[in-house]
Amino acid sequence: MSTGWTREQMAARAAQDIPNGSYVNLGIGIPELVARFVPEGREFIYHTENGMLGMGPPPAEEERDLDLMNAGKKYVTAVPGAAYFHHADSFSMIRGGHIDVCVLGTMQVAANGDIANWSTGAPGAIPAVGGAMDLVQGVKKIYVITQHTTKTGEAKLVERCSYPLTGPGVVSRIYTDLAVVDVTADGFKVVELAPGISFAEVEQKTGTKILPPE
Amino acid sequence: MINKQYSSVSAAITDIPDGATVMIGGFGASGSPIELIHALIDHGAKDLTVINNNTGNGEVGLAALIGNRQVRKMICSFPRSSQSKVFPELYQAGKIELELVPQGTLAERIRAAGAGIPAFYTPTTVGTVLAEGKESREFDGREYVMEAWLPADFALVKCEIADPLGNLVYNKTARNFNPLMCMAATTTIVQTKRLVAAGDIDPEVVITPGIFVNRVVEVPKPVHEDTLIAAGRSYP
């Protein structure tokens, strides 16, 4: 049985597509791993929406600063050249198109680039949106990292999202455990297959039409 | 000389009435004015509308204020927390109202109130359920949603250094919503770790100019929400 890419390999593959010098915002979960795989010779500056550019890796426990956290409310560090700012400036960077790349996790992504990653819309669920709707509308390129299917085997790459949207038509590229997939005018298109993964398997696990790699 | 200093957190918040709209600074635990919040719990004002990014952690600070049933409505972007059941339980029992606002829109609505801008257009929420019922308009071929300013009666804010005029400096990511809330409330109440003399803060590094601040109280050793939670504490 084929296994495809691990979470780390998915993150490393996404990192390869981020140009040198980019300002990057990473979502919570697998996207956070991207920071570990910056390609040789490149430098990214990480933005965290609670008010810092130049976010560095987590500190040792004894070096934690209680006033230095990221948007996931985890303790982080500041790299030389970092800057702090308030929330309105932080979201001006996002909405104003100053952040180059945002890498997000998702529940569903559609063939037209719609993304649904904030709520299942189930009755009784507590809605919580955070900064996701600002990020998808404002950042220049939205990349998604996600397992190709849910834990129960349902497709996450679908024709139309059944969950409430975070934003319409915003995703440009998706990194899954099976493939790198572009959102094109003709729908999903495989750019690259993970080692040992066939296009037939990707097609079978995708909830809508998907085009093969060239 | 102007002196906005108050002698204690309780003296600084004692006129917050039932039914007030209160902004509380902080993003999760960082920058949360926990001593002012606990004074508000002691004070007992009820029926409050509270504006904060979250709904508190554990059973201290904002979560304790909510748990003490002093809050009628929360306006926030992310009311879930892995560390608190207080808000979710009341919300699911229909005992507290929620206005969910995307984080950037929340920040800008607060800033707009402080800046005298009654409304603005943003691309955030276009094409989503959160835009339903809102006015929208096209600018240069793209759709935007209108959002209104969000003022408050009081703001509770935490900073690192203040002077008696209310000039403020923050610490790292504990800044977050605090400077915006200072601008947007009728009465802004600040707890500071250090109170220094006027002139001791370089005017070039002032983040919040004193014009946005009404009251300053020194809390030299503020407790941190995460430390209280790790110790299993609850308030009162």
Residue B148 β-bridge partners: B119
Structural contact between residues A29 and A8, judged by C-beta atoms closer than 8 angstroms? no
Nearest residue of A to residue B224, measured between CA atoms: A66
Question: How far is it, in rounded angstroms, from Cα B67 to Cα B96?
Answer: 10
CATH 3.40.1080.10 is right for the domain spanning A7-211: yes
Structural contact between residues B102 and A129, judged by C-beta atoms closer than 8 angstroms? yes
Strand segments (E) across B18-109? 21-24, 48-51, 71-76, 97-100
Distance (Å) from the alpha carbon of A109 to chain B's nearest alpha carbon: 14
- Among A75, A79, A137, the strongest candidate for a mutation testing the B interface, having the largest count of B CBs within 10 A, is A137
**Closest residue to B180, CB basis, from A49, A86, A129:** A86
The DSSP call for residue A69 is B
Distance (Å) from the alpha carbon of B176 to chain A's nearest alpha carbon: 5
Tokens found for residue B54 = 């979250």
B/e letters for A160-184, b = 16+ CB within 10 Å, e = fewer, are ebebbbbbbebbbbbbbbbbbbbbe
Mean pLDDT of the residues in chain B = 97
| 3-state class percentages of chain A: helix first, strand second, coil last, to nearest 5 | 20, 30, 50
Question: How far is it, in rounded angstroms, from Cα A142 to Cα A146?
Answer: 13
Q: What interhelical angle do A87-95 and B103-115 show, nearest 10?
A: 120
Domain boundaries, chain A: 7-211
With beta carbons under 8 A apart, name residues in chain A contacting B28.
69, 73
The pLDDT, as a whole number, for residue A2 is 60
Which A-chain residues 72-91 have CB contacts (< 8 A) with chain B? 73, 78, 84-88, 90-91
The pLDDT, as a whole number, for residue A121 is 87
Closest CA to A166 of A91, A122, A97, A110: A110
pLDDT in tens, chain A (214 residues): 568 999 999 999 999 999 999 999 999 889 999 999 999 999 999 999 999 999 999 999 999 999 999 998 899 999 999 999 999 999 999 999 999 999 999 999 999 999 999 998 888 788 899 999 999 999 999 999 999 999 999 999 999 999 999 999 999 999 999 999 999 999 999 999 999 999 999 999 999 999 999 8
Burial zone of A37 (CB within 10 Å; 0-12 exposed, 13-18 middle, 19+ buried) = middle
Question: How far is it, in rounded angstroms, from Cα B38 to Cα B64?
Answer: 8
The pLDDT, as a whole number, for residue A15 is 97
CB within 8 Å: A84 and B129: no
Is A123 touching B (CB cutoff 8 A)? no
Tokens found for residue A76 = 């982080």
CB within 8 Å: B29 and A130: no
Terminal CA-CA length for chain B: 37
Is B212 touching A (CB cutoff 8 A)? no
Closest CA to B185 of B41, B22, B43: B22
Structural contact between residues A197 and A4, judged by C-beta atoms closer than 8 angstroms? yes
Q: Taking the CA of residue B159 as centre, how many other CA atoms within 13 Å lie in the half-sphere pointing to its CB?
A: 34
3-state secondary structure A156-189: CEECCCCCCCCECCCEEEEECCCEEEEEECCEEE
- Sketch out chain B's domains with CATH numbers: 18-116+150-230 (3.40.1080.10)
Residue B137 β-bridge partners: B144
CB within 8 Å: A126 and B126: no
Is B35 touching A (CB cutoff 8 A)? no
- Interface predicted TM-score (ipTM) of this complex, two decimals: 0.96
> Does the structure show a pLDDT above 90 at B83?
no
**Mean pLDDT for the stretch of residues B25-33:** 94
Q: Please indicate whether residue A49 is annotated as part of the active site.
A: yes
Marked catalytic residue, from A8, A40, A49, A61: A49
- Among A46, A75, A129, the strongest candidate for a mutation testing the B interface, having the largest count of B CBs within 10 A, is A129
> Does the structure show a pLDDT above 60 at B185?
yes
Q: Is B65 helix (H, G, I), strand (E, B) or coil?
A: helix
